């Protein structure tokens, strides 16, 4: 009897355990899908209107799209009243610099906009520091994880700097071969193409032929040439022609970054530029472009109302220069310079490649690198410099000189954008924020010139609206133009930056599809999903289609909230309720889940 009781107890204990195990197994087995998104209206990436459907995801892939999916899933998302879209693909970002640091791997400012993939290494500046290799960065990002998927470009400027330093000359045959070898190495390691920044240093020093030779290296891989063209002002059309020539001569497709024209005298030139692109496309040349939907430019969008030469005058034309700083550091031995550099370098610990790079740097370049890393001449310039204020005010006390200064300030403002399009961004007098220079002048009852001087002296940060709305909309309507934010992954709250880093994708939907109705909602969705995928030659992302990667955004389009303003550039956008990257939930009811499921998309593997 006693034994029977023991047996019964044993049976009950293990039996129930066994049964519960079975039960659990059957539950797992019955979760046919990882995620099902139910009752949403689906934009699939095409220009078609949204349709009602359920979507099932398993092992990172969209496995079923149907009117109704009833099988159980580990996670069911109700998208009732919401829109479902492919995750957004950002054709042009500089987030790699921020993502380099573990704190910013998630790129939360982009996840909150619905971005699931970023193309980095833009404007001639590689996604990795000059001393690193593409393969090293890809290894770290793959092992430690990243928020959005990323495809890397190698920067022409970075390559040129490694081989020629900052010298303004053509490369020798040998140097060109070295540059080609570096581009090829990056392509072998998984880079997706080459980028140029032909207005920046040292990219500006490169002639068309040099770029053609380097793009020829990426062409056989199926690489794509992304370019910040040589001129976005009066010579826009020539610059577009050069980009097309590079594509024709090299055999690689060309993608024009942040397509626009800046400056009042040049507004309207985009029509001629688009005509050139369209003629090339009609001839079978692969030319595409991207755009950010704002009227102001630059990562740091603020500009002085008083040009530097007018502010400093002839008495003190340049103030402290980089050359002065080099003189200071030229007294130190190489080893001392490297030790100083290591104390402030953000790249810690110094990698083997980094150390090799430092050791191999010619003396002059080492002095320059260390000097510019430690001291910025800009710290001693501008309205924050008591010395420069005093010199400026002294000149203003001379009536003749003051009139000359006023005249030059007015010319500067008129040539740039005019007083009605120069906006006060941040100001100690908060009531002026958001007002134009012309409005502030009227409020204060002063001339434009004297208002500009007053604002400048009180440290106001002003933003010139350098692009015209008509031009933005003209470009946006084109079917060969995608979305590229040109933003960064900043430390949250740190630094004054362009609001595009936080709001590009939802702003484009809200302003241009919903409010102004410049383009349809499906046009905007296509421009930031299937179209960029087509530019990058991807046939497994950018669409809501069975068999495609489950990069999916669930959008509450009626409740998009853009919280940035030009006086407060750091604020996460609202409107993305759920976001899946490679099938993993990264935003759950708008909240970040802490996951880093992004993959580095390598060209070589394809
Ligand atoms: Zn650029």
Q: Which helix (H) or strand (E) holds 381?
A: none
- Calculate how far, in angstroms, residue 123's C-alpha sits from the geometric centre of ligand 1: 4
Is the pLDDT confidence value at 158 over 70? Answer: yes
393's tokens: 């005010």
- Calculate how far, in angstroms, residue 537's C-alpha sits from the geometric centre of ligand 1: 22
- Calculate how far, in angstroms, residue 432's C-alpha sits from the geometric centre of ligand 1: 30
As beta bridge partners, residue 115 has 88
Range scoring the smallest mean pLDDT among 10-24, 63-77, 279-293, 552-566: 10-24
- Calculate how far, in angstroms, residue 198's C-alpha sits from the geometric centre of ligand 1: 9
- Calculate how far, in angstroms, residue 256's C-alpha sits from the geometric centre of ligand 1: 10
- The string of DSSP letters for 275-312 reads HHHHHHHHTT--EEEEE---S--SSS--B-SS-HHHHH
Give the residue-averaged pLDDT of 153-181: 94
- Calculate how far, in angstroms, residue 113's C-alpha sits from the geometric centre of ligand 1: 21
- Calculate how far, in angstroms, residue 195's C-alpha sits from the geometric centre of ligand 1: 9
**Which whole-number Å values give the CA distances from 307 to 298, 405, 453, in the listed order?**
17, 10, 11
Is the pLDDT confidence value at 216 over 60? Answer: yes
Range scoring the smallest mean pLDDT among 14-18, 463-467, 542-546: 14-18
Is the pLDDT confidence value at 68 over 60? Answer: yes
Residue 493 has a pLDDT of 93
Highest mean pLDDT among 313-322, 370-379, 569-578: 569-578
92's tokens: 């042009």
Q: Which helix (H) or strand (E) holds 380?
A: none
Q: At 29, is the pLDDT very low, low, confident or very high (cuts 50, 70, 90)? A: low
**Which whole-number Å values give the CA distances from 562 to 11, 368, 408, 593, in the listed order?**
61, 41, 37, 21
- Calculate how far, in angstroms, residue 107's C-alpha sits from the geometric centre of ligand 1: 19
- Calculate how far, in angstroms, residue 527's C-alpha sits from the geometric centre of ligand 1: 19
Percentage of the chain exceeding pLDDT 90: 82
- Calculate how far, in angstroms, residue 196's C-alpha sits from the geometric centre of ligand 1: 8
- Calculate how far, in angstroms, residue 216's C-alpha sits from the geometric centre of ligand 1: 22
- Calculate how far, in angstroms, residue 258's C-alpha sits from the geometric centre of ligand 1: 7
Q: Which helix (H) or strand (E) holds 217?
A: helix 208-218
Residue 13 has a pLDDT of 43
Is the pLDDT confidence value at 10 over 70? Answer: no
Is the pLDDT confidence value at 180 over 50? Answer: yes
Highest mean pLDDT among 126-135, 182-191, 360-369: 182-191
Residue 566 has a pLDDT of 81
Contact 311, 361 (CB under 8 A): no
Residue 337 has a pLDDT of 95
Cα–Cα–Cα angle for 186, 190, 195, nearest 5°? Answer: 55
105's tokens: 């791997």
- The string of DSSP letters for 85-103 reads EEPEEESS--HHHHHTSGG
Q: What is the pTM of this model?
A: 0.91
Q: Tokens 């104390």 belong to which residue? A: 343
Task: Write the CB contacts of 554 (distance below 8 Å, at least 6 apart in sequence).
Answer: 37, 40, 77, 79, 82, 83, 84, 576, 577, 578, 579
Dist. CA 91–CA 484, nearest whole Å: 5
- Calculate how far, in angstroms, residue 118's C-alpha sits from the geometric centre of ligand 1: 15
Contact 87, 580 (CB under 8 A): yes
- Calculate how far, in angstroms, residue 51's C-alpha sits from the geometric centre of ligand 1: 37
Residue 317 has a pLDDT of 67
Is the pLDDT confidence value at 20 over 90? Answer: no
Q: How crowded is the C-beta side of 537, counted as CA atoms within 13 Å?
A: 18
Does the bond joining 73 to the residue before it have cis omega, within 30 degrees of 0? no
- Calculate how far, in angstroms, residue 550's C-alpha sits from the geometric centre of ligand 1: 30
- Calculate how far, in angstroms, residue 354's C-alpha sits from the geometric centre of ligand 1: 26
- Calculate how far, in angstroms, residue 88's C-alpha sits from the geometric centre of ligand 1: 20
Parallel, antiparallel, or unpaired for β 115-120 and 61-66?
Answer: unpaired
482's tokens: 């995608």
- Calculate how far, in angstroms, residue 146's C-alpha sits from the geometric centre of ligand 1: 23
- Calculate how far, in angstroms, residue 257's C-alpha sits from the geometric centre of ligand 1: 6
- Calculate how far, in angstroms, residue 92's C-alpha sits from the geometric centre of ligand 1: 8
- Calculate how far, in angstroms, residue 475's C-alpha sits from the geometric centre of ligand 1: 17
- The separation between CA 32 and the C-alpha centre of its own chain, rounded to angstroms, equals 38
Contact 37, 80 (CB under 8 A): no
Q: At 3, is the pLDDT very low, low, confident or very high (cuts 50, 70, 90)? A: low
Give the residue-averaged pLDDT of 376-387: 87
- Calculate how far, in angstroms, residue 117's C-alpha sits from the geometric centre of ligand 1: 18
- Calculate how far, in angstroms, residue 62's C-alpha sits from the geometric centre of ligand 1: 34
Residue 377 has a pLDDT of 84
Q: Higher model confidence: residue 328 or residue 316?
A: 328
Residue 15 has a pLDDT of 42
Is the pLDDT confidence value at 432 over 70? Answer: yes
Task: Write the CB contacts of 133 (distance below 8 Å, at least 6 apart in sequence).
Answer: 185, 186, 189, 353
Residue 128 has a pLDDT of 83
Is the pLDDT confidence value at 286 over 80? Answer: yes
Residue 372 has a pLDDT of 87
Residue 127 has a pLDDT of 83
Is the pLDDT confidence value at 26 over 50? Answer: no
Is the pLDDT confidence value at 17 over 60? Answer: no
- Calculate how far, in angstroms, residue 297's C-alpha sits from the geometric centre of ligand 1: 10
Give the residue-averaged pLDDT of 243-262: 98
- Calculate how far, in angstroms, residue 228's C-alpha sits from the geometric centre of ligand 1: 5
Q: At 8, is the pLDDT very low, low, confident or very high (cuts 50, 70, 90)? A: very low
Q: Is 408 exposed, middle or buried (CB count within 10 Å of its CB: 0-12, 13-18, 19+)?
A: middle
- Calculate how far, in angstroms, residue 240's C-alpha sits from the geometric centre of ligand 1: 14
Does the bond joining 453 to the residue before it have cis omega, within 30 degrees of 0? no
- Calculate how far, in angstroms, residue 486's C-alpha sits from the geometric centre of ligand 1: 7
- Calculate how far, in angstroms, residue 203's C-alpha sits from the geometric centre of ligand 1: 11
Annotate 16-42 with b (16+ C-beta within 10 A) or e (fewer): eeeeeeeeeeeeeeeebbbbbbbebbb
Dist. CA 236–CA 546, nearest whole Å: 42
Cα–Cα–Cα angle for 194, 367, 324, nearest 5°? Answer: 110
- Calculate how far, in angstroms, residue 290's C-alpha sits from the geometric centre of ligand 1: 11
Dist. CA 107–CA 92, nearest whole Å: 14
- Calculate how far, in angstroms, residue 581's C-alpha sits from the geometric centre of ligand 1: 27
As beta bridge partners, residue 36 has 56, 76
Is the pLDDT confidence value at 196 over 60? Answer: yes
Residue 459 has a pLDDT of 95
Cα–Cα–Cα angle for 7, 8, 14, nearest 5°? Answer: 85
Give the residue-averaged pLDDT of 559-570: 91
Condensed to tens digits (0 to 9), the pLDDT of residues 326-356 reads 999 999 999 999 999 999 988 888 888 889 9
- Calculate how far, in angstroms, residue 122's C-alpha sits from the geometric centre of ligand 1: 7
Q: Higher model confidence: residue 288 or residue 382?
A: 288
442's tokens: 């009227």
- Calculate how far, in angstroms, residue 400's C-alpha sits from the geometric centre of ligand 1: 41
Residue 605 has a pLDDT of 52
- Calculate how far, in angstroms, residue 487's C-alpha sits from the geometric centre of ligand 1: 10
Contact 596, 103 (CB under 8 A): no
Average of per-residue pLDDT values in the chain: 92
Give the residue-averaged pLDDT of 534-563: 97
Cα–Cα–Cα angle for 213, 216, 220, nearest 5°? Answer: 160
- Calculate how far, in angstroms, residue 260's C-alpha sits from the geometric centre of ligand 1: 11
- Calculate how far, in angstroms, residue 73's C-alpha sits from the geometric centre of ligand 1: 44
Dist. CA 529–CA 88, nearest whole Å: 5
Is the pLDDT confidence value at 5 over 80? Answer: no
Nearest to 210 by CA among 158, 172, 248, 182: 172
Is the pLDDT confidence value at 298 over 50? Answer: yes
């Amino acid at each position: 009897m006693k034994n029977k009781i023991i047996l019964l107890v044993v049976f009950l204990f293990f039996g129930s355990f066994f049964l519960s195990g079975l039960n659990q197994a059957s539950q797992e087995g019955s979760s046919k899908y990882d995620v099902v998104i139910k009752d949403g209206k689906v934009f699939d990436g095409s220009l078609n209107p949204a349709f009602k459907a359920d979507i099932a995801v398993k092992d990172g892939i969209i496995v079923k799209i149907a009117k109704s999916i009833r099988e159980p899933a580990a996670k069911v998302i109700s998208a009732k009243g919401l829109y479902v879209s492919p995750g957004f693909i950002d054709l042009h970002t500089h987030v790699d610099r921020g993502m380099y640091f573990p704190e910013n791997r998630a790129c939360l400012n982009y996840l909150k906009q619905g971005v699931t993939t970023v193309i980095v290494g833009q404007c001639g500046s590689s996604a990795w520091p000059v001393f690193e290799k593409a393969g090293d960065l890809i290894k770290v990002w793959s092992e430690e994880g990243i928020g959005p998927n990323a495809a890397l470009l190698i920067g022409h400027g970075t390559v040129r700097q490694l081989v020629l330093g900052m010298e303004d000359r053509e490369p020798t045959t040998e140097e060109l071969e070295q540059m080609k070898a570096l581009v090829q190495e990056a392509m072998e390691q998984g880079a997706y193409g080459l980028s140029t920044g032909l207005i920046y240093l040292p990219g500006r020093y490169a002639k068309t032929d040099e770029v053609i030779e380097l793009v020829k290296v990426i062409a056989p891989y199926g690489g794509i040439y992304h370019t910040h063209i040589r001129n976005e002002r009066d010579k826009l059309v020539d610059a577009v022609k050069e980009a097309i020539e590079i594509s024709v001569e090299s055999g690689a497709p060309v993608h024009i970054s942040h397509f626009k024209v800046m400056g009042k005298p040049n507004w309207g030139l985009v029509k001629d530029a688009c005509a050139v692109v369209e003629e090339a496309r009609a001839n079978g040349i692969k030319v595409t472009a991207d755009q950010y939907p704002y009227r102001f430019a630059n990562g740091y969008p603020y500009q002085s109302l008083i040009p530097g030469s007018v502010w400093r005058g002839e008495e003190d034309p340049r103030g402290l220069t980089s050359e002065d700083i080099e003189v200071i550091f030229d007294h130190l031995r190489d080893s001392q310079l490297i030790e100083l550099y290591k104390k402030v370098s953000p790249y810690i610990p110094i990698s083997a490649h980094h150390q090799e790079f430092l050791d191999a740097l010619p003396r002059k370049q080492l002095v320059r690198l260390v000097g510019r890393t430690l001291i910025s001449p800009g710290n001693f310039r501008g309205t924050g410099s008591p010395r420069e204020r005093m010199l400026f005010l002294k000149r203003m006390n001379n009536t003749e000189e003051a009139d000359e200064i006023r005249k030059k300030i007015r010319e500067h403002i008129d040539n740039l954008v005019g007083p009605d399009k120069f906006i006060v961004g941040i100001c100690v007098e908060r009531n002026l924020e958001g007002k134009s220079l012309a409005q502030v002048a009227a409020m204060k009852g002063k001339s434009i010139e004297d208002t500009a001087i007053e604002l400048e002296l009180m440290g106001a940060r002003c933003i010139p609206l350098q692009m015209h709305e008509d031009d933005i909309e003209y470009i946006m309507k084109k079917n060969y133009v995608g979305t590229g934010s040109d933003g960064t992954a900043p430390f949250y709250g740190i630094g004054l930056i362009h609001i595009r880093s936080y709001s590009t994708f939802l702003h484009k939907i809200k302003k241009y599809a919903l409010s102004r109705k410049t383009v349809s909602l499906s046009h905007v969705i296509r421009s930031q999903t299937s179209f960029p995928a087509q530019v990058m030659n991807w046939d497994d992302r950018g669409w809501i289609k069975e068999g495609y990667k489950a990069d999916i955004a669930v959008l509450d389009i009626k409740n998009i909230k853009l919280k940035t303003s030009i006086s407060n550039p750091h604020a996460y956008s609202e409107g993305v309720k759920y976001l899946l990257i490679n099938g993993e939930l990264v935003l759950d009811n708008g909240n970040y889940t802490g996951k880093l499921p992004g993959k580095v998309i390598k060209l070589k593997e394809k």
